[in-house]
Structure formats: C-alpha cells, structure tokens
Amino acid sequence: MKVFISHSGKNTELVNKVQRALRNVSVDPLFAEFEPDEFPPFRKIERMMRSSEAAFLLLTPEIKATEHTQNWVSYEVGLAQAFDKNLYVFEKRNRTQRFPVPYLTHYYLYDPAKSTEISVLEEAAKEVEESGKVGSWFPGMIIGALLGAPFGRRGILAGGTAGATMGEIADEGQASYTVNVKCPRASCRIEFELFAELFDGFTFDCPSCRQEMKISLR
C-alpha cells in the first residue's frame, strides 16, 4: 500500500518520523525528493500520485516560507483531486496557516502537546494488512501516534450531530470526535470530515477558504 506525502523539504524531522511510522505498519510513503536524473519533476510526482491509495498533506509554516514550495504543494493537491484520491490535511490546532487548500477530504487539527500510546500503530498494521484498504480512521491514528493527536478508531457518538463519531485511544480512555462538515459560504461550500477534540461551539478556519467556522454538537 502506498501513500503520497505532500510536505516541505525543510520539515526533515517530521518527515523522518512519518516515514518510519508508516513503514512500520506496512505502508510505503512516497516522497517527491527531486533527483537530477528524474526531471522534469512533475512527471515523477504524477507517477507517484497515480500509484498511491491516498495522499497526506503535512501543512506546516515551512510550506508558506517560499513560493517555490507553495506552488509544488498546490500542484500536488490538484493532482490528488484529478486522480480522485482522498486527501488528508494535517495541521496544528491554533496554529493554522493562511494557506488555502482548494481540495481535501479529511482535515485533522492536532495538539502536539498530547501523548498517546504507540501501540495503536500495531493495531493499525493488523487492520491494514487484513483489509488492504486505508480506512477513514487510519491516517489520524498514524499521525496521532507520531504527534500526540488523540485520534484512534471510531465508534458512534450517541446524541451527537449527524456524522459525528468518537475515537478511543487504546488503554487511555481519551476521546476525539469527527464530524462531516460543509463550509456555509457560497464562495466555498467544500465538504470534508473534520477530526479534532471537539466541543459545542468549537471554532476553526475552513481549510479551503480560511474563514472561521463553528461546530454545534447539540
């Protein structure tokens, strides 16, 4: 199983963590590191995206640091949409970037200060190996174990809004929630699955238009 990773080349430590974790659960991460004999580079990126089951975007401040990186990330986002790949965007809570992502299917707002059990990776490995598919819970479990976000496998959240679900981290009793949302602005209207520690009145910026949204769980 292959997953394309869109990222900034300056995030070396983060990329190394993601690479090790994904390989530990039998997922082959594809990073478009440009080599002199593989130009033009867009051909390599296109080939890698086509062969991937999904794409991850590690949205960090370094992506906005240069126009060069912004342009390539935008190209990769466009390819994910063109090839009908699920695009999972990962961003730190309360440190969102003013970088609009026109297309995505899943949006993870994580708190790097949280701690979780690395054992969730072992469960993920078994699930992926058995099913051969990337479930909607899988990317959050991987990145959560790496960066501390409390994302795990999900069960139904009784009494929540339509599409809301609850994830439990192994042996710790922590919970996170997901909800299917649609941006209310006429100029946006993007739909995606939001993963975060939600509460009634939770606010965040729409990852596509970067305007504030509010979640009601009542």
- Tokens encoding 177: 């929630």
Backbone angles phi, psi at 26, to 5 degrees: 65, 30
103, 73 Cβ separation under 8 angstroms: no
CA distance 102 to 210: 10
**Residue 54 region by backbone torsions, left for phi larger than 0, else alpha for psi between -120 and 50, else beta:** beta
Only one residue has tokens 């994302």, namely 151
DSSP-derived 3-state class of residue 199? coil
CA distance 113 to 133: 30
pLDDT in tens, 126-171: 454 555 555 555 665 665 555 554 454 443 222 223 233 333 333 3
Helix H, strand E, coil C: the string for 171-188 is CCCCEEEEEEEECCCCCC
Residue type, 107: Y
- Tokens encoding 48: 């890698």
pLDDT tens sequence for the chain (218 residues): 888 999 998 888 878 877 887 787 778 889 887 665 667 889 999 999 999 988 989 898 999 889 999 999 999 999 999 999 999 888 887 766 789 999 999 888 876 665 343 333 344 444 545 555 555 556 656 655 555 544 544 432 222 232 333 333 333 444 457 789 999 999 999 999 898 888 888 999 999 999 999 988 77
Structural domains in the chain, CATH included, are 2-215 (3.40.50.10140)
Helix (H) or strand (E) holding 170: none
26, 1 Cβ separation under 8 angstroms: yes
Specify the long-range contacts of residues 158-162, CB closer than 8 Å, at least 24 apart.
160/217, 161/215, 161/216, 161/217, 161/218
Q: What share of the chain is helix, strand, coil (3-state, %, to 5)?
A: 30, 25, 40
Q: What is the pTM of this model?
A: 0.77
- Tokens encoding 139: 């990317």
- Tokens encoding 38: 């593989």
Can you give the pLDDT at residue 94?
A: 74
